[in-house]
Structure 1
């Protein structure tokens, strides 16, 4: 295939490649850039194209590989790698100061929300919170395991609603 024939077939293939580029990039400008990169690579690597094979398939492969390479490059650029020597300082809790007033107020409001629960829901919930298994709670309270699960679910839901109203 002569260079003129190759260039002519490349120009004809652009119309077929553009929808694929748009589908890959999901952006028209990026698709145009990808299409341009693909055509440039195809033109500069013309000698690698085997005469008598499917030119469009070759171009689709170049486009797909170019897209993947560009995507991986973009992901690497956005990845932050901390190269500091003293990594133990990053997660050090020695310099953290706690606002005890806010946390004690929050605990007080959570306790009040728990106390406001009906006893029939609060008891299984608190037992589960303390680490009892469903079957242990059912045995101690003398109720079916399904009832235990239901009461714990209702207690969670009511607590969630009350705490959301308080802004938690």
Structure 2
């Protein structure tokens, strides 16, 4: 019912995640809106990328995505139709991650650019070098700026939606994104109007 006809074309890790999530959904005893489930499944790639950027561990990231799906299904009535489902899912995922990290009394870090790596296709050697530089530059950003620029620049969320995900004011998001973009442009030696090649939405 909830299978994906293109599942056999997905990367192995994502295919296995989809299989796990599908099993979780099928095991859910309460009625579920099939269209709601389909929209969640369509967001798995982005959820996995965001989870990787937070957890820096593929197994933990997949657990986070599975937990996010379970919570989203159990809280389906709290989702407001007409709003951005992906932003809502990002919020659940990040809240779950932060809750887990608070229990371990550790700080959130993302020094290896894992999220950037999941977002980028590498068409040629020149872009490969650019992407390596981008991963390093993203890893050197403060966590708040990195999350903001990835959500707005890579995932295409509005400032308002990113503010919802990160739990801060819209003005704070705008400031973080502007500072992050300026830093990335300066660090990578680009002109102010340049966009960084290879990102999913070419908005960084």
TM-score, structure 2 as length reference: 0.36
By relative contact order (CA 8 Å, sep 6+), the higher-ranking structure is: 2
> Which structure: larger Rg?
1
Bigger helix share: 1
